[in-house]
Structure 1
């Protein structure tokens, strides 16, 4: 098998970035609260010799490291935020929280940021040793899980001089990510009514909680009449107190509205607002709303995807040992048949032979499958040619946002998949540095896909990173 010169640079730094990944795994922090995680990333960027810029775009937990000079600017996008309520002991084959109710890295972002910085470090060292002109950056981006930090960073111009962006996401089957994602908005609806004694004078009260419940009924009836790929989710943030004998004068509900494109999402959001207005009208309450975050749909870049696919085919899947397979088999035993089938279907594959860890890659001619979730990488992809891949880190069938992801987050398969992804990303960046025509084709492809209107931020003009609301 042929080798790419960048792979040796990646392997040389493997252990430091395994340590970084494990360190972030041990301090899981959620949306905009990633103080210890960003500190670990800043410490490693400094050690590796990057020029570090903190508080990027005015966000305390966003950071950028830069190295090299001249030439094109190629950026690696990293993340390090966790999820609430997914605390789990490592390498334990049943649900067993480290701290009940605490956070956990249920989407593998401890691996995500570490691999992206590993790739950036490899490229930095290669640029220096070969004398190749060019600038490499690592962007440590917080709050991907619901905080839309990259959308705010795009709006602030943090990527305005970037020529190419490269990233990945932990997963169970290695592939170039060719499908789109859903645009979404996260909106708080606050209802205000009038308190009263629920037994003595209920007729004088106007229940904000009733309004929240009626809004839920209205949204549920609306689901039949929206596009198939659209999604609406909600959580009651404040039910108005714990005293049932008091008519609740205040209640807040948070909605996530998703659709295939930003314009479709914004249209659906307006319909959701009308339902909220109707609930307020029925209950004689007042409703106000605040858009906390919003992200666009993802734009695939074919020229970059082809180069990444070529590197993936050249390297092949990670080399998993029999011990790795035995370890993963115990996790796969905790999964359902539907979980396992979904992993294949999510990559456009028909399962042929059952495997525990991916000993294959998704072929180039496999039809793109839209990603049912959302990501703020999408907003970067509208302004910078962007390419990303799925890694092979977990037992096949492991679904994101589960305790099984957390439990596997420090295992040898996860680390092998992390290093594998870094190698693919680093090689793709090096190919772009060496091929000016690739840069031109990537930019032309982006311009064709976004059209003459280009990027329109889904964020309201007055929206700010919701650091206090997410804390």
Structure 2
């Protein structure tokens, strides 16, 4: 058992003492879903809670109005608990019902459960703060309120700005079908806008005078599609056309814009793939005699896992066990599962390499294993993991089979089962933070593991030095 486990009952009691107010915070954020860099109400709610709980507050981190940090304690090591509160576009949904029923058609919704994520993280940080005060132990705990995880890479800007330069250990979590330790790495990615500028002309009378920016976008798409055969199979490229140049087909489109997301398992592979995509864009501009400009909006690194911290958190989960769901939770989860396909349910078990069971909610903690697996998505927690030993938990807040970024996640976001999962993972994070605070050998082992995994690589931000947080650009549709 890890040092600090003797204090588990106390820190868990400190979490329980404030469960109600943090559940209310989660529900409040659920009710005001805001997307990438626009989380003004959600950030304000977290700021109010930090102030009410007695944290010293720093705002506007890395020049981001919705990024903030609360600190408590003095001296000793610094433990960071990372929270998020951004939502997703187009996922509005009424809470507590197992039918697709948007509150407002086309509006935002918390389809990744970040209302729970931020609240549980702040609850864990508060429990550590209260423990430090009660015991008089040297040490500091910080809650980082991080916006724009969904595509905005706010943490990457925060890392680049030095916001984590004196942190000893970082801890975070994510809503899931299961409870336990997250043992997967993630894909590095970069978001780039390619803008093409041509020349308008009458498309019938004098088409030879026009130079179509829309043609350039389409030719870029063709080029990237052909490139997919000749790039590593574990890389991914996605795109969305933001500006087609207008609605008049009889006018040669003088402007067009496309946004690309480029992903690779590691940073070096990402940088190489970015250059290849840029060459395709340059070729499209050359073929159409248009001008091309590329602007990097955001980028994140691949996640670096940490074995000592994962093992410490596993001990804690095994001591604590899965959330205690009741019959009402099970009944609602069954209703949600009736809206899911057999493939949805099978995928959830397969992602964790588990033998499927016919249960609606996880009644167990994910078992320990030594295999570092690759998850399909990306996260800006990864950039923190390059500069600070980082560990993440999964919290069982969803019926088994629920896929992230769906209306079913939003429907469960204010449910008692989600609240139970949120409180459970807050206890796991608080206890892990406490173990790291009390154990210098654990901190030293975590740093040694990070250095071993980096193999001498220095952190190189996937975001250009000149790039600023794309607060305005990320609102472009």
Q: TM-score range by the shorter chain?
A: over 0.9
5 Å-filtered alignment, 1:174-185, equals: 174-185=179-190
Question: Equivalents in 2 of 1:443, 1:211: separation in Å?
Answer: 48
Deviates more, 1:278-287 or 1:164-173: 278-287
Where does residue 162 of structure 1 map in the other structure?
Answer: 167
Where does residue 455 of structure 1 map in the other structure?
Answer: 459
1:268 aligns with 2:273: yes
Where does residue 417 of structure 1 map in the other structure?
Answer: 421
5 Å-filtered alignment, 1:288-367, equals: 288-351=293-356, 353-365=357-369, 367=371
SS at match of 2:239: strand
CA deviation string 1:290-316 (max 9, x = no partner):
000010000001100000011011111
Question: Equivalents in 1 of 2:447, 2:303: separation in Å?
Answer: 15
Q: How many Å apart are 1:451 and its aligned residue?
A: 2.3
Q: How many Å apart are 1:277 and its aligned residue?
A: 1.3
Among 420, 436, 440, the alignment partner of 1:436 is 440
Q: How many Å apart are 1:200 and its aligned residue?
A: 1.0
Question: Equivalents in 1 of 2:222, 2:355: separation in Å?
Answer: 38
Q: How many Å apart are 1:4 and its aligned residue?
A: 3.4
Question: Equivalents in 1 of 2:56, 2:437: separation in Å?
Answer: 20
Question: Equivalents in 2 of 1:93, 1:201: separation in Å?
Answer: 56
1:250 aligns with 2:245: no
Question: Equivalents in 2 of 1:229, 1:316: separation in Å?
Answer: 35
Deviates more, 1:60-69 or 1:451-460: 451-460
Where does residue 402 of structure 1 map in the other structure?
Answer: 406
Q: How many residues align?
A: 470
Contact 1:348 1:366 in 2 (8 A): no
Where does residue 450 of structure 2 map in the other structure?
Answer: 446
Question: Equivalents in 2 of 1:86, 1:193: separation in Å?
Answer: 36
Question: Equivalents in 1 of 2:169, 2:287: separation in Å?
Answer: 51
Question: Equivalents in 2 of 1:119, 1:424: separation in Å?
Answer: 8
Question: Equivalents in 1 of 2:222, 2:395: separation in Å?
Answer: 40
* Gapped regions of structure 2 (runs ≥ 5): none
TM-score scaled by length of structure 1: 0.98
Where does residue 103 of structure 2 map in the other structure?
Answer: 98
- Please, what is the CA RMSD of the aligned residues? 1.2
Contact 1:31 1:82 in 2 (8 A): yes
Where does residue 171 of structure 1 map in the other structure?
Answer: 176
Question: Equivalents in 2 of 1:360, 1:227: separation in Å?
Answer: 36
Deviates more, 1:443-452 or 1:244-253: 443-452
Where does residue 127 of structure 1 map in the other structure?
Answer: 132
Among 64, 67, 78, the alignment partner of 1:73 is 78
SS at match of 1:432: helix
Question: Equivalents in 1 of 2:383, 2:452: separation in Å?
Answer: 16
* Gapped regions of structure 1 (runs ≥ 5): none
Contact 1:61 1:141 in 2 (8 A): yes
Q: How many Å apart are 1:366 and its aligned residue?
A: 6.4
Q: How many Å apart are 1:468 and its aligned residue?
A: 1.0
CA deviation string 1:332-390 (max 9, x = no partner):
11111111111112112232x21100011211126333111000000000000000011
Q: How many Å apart are 1:175 and its aligned residue?
A: 2.3
Question: Equivalents in 2 of 1:65, 1:348: separation in Å?
Answer: 38
1:139 aligns with 2:144: yes
SS at match of 2:184: coil
Among 14, 20, 23, the alignment partner of 1:18 is 23
1:376 aligns with 2:403: no
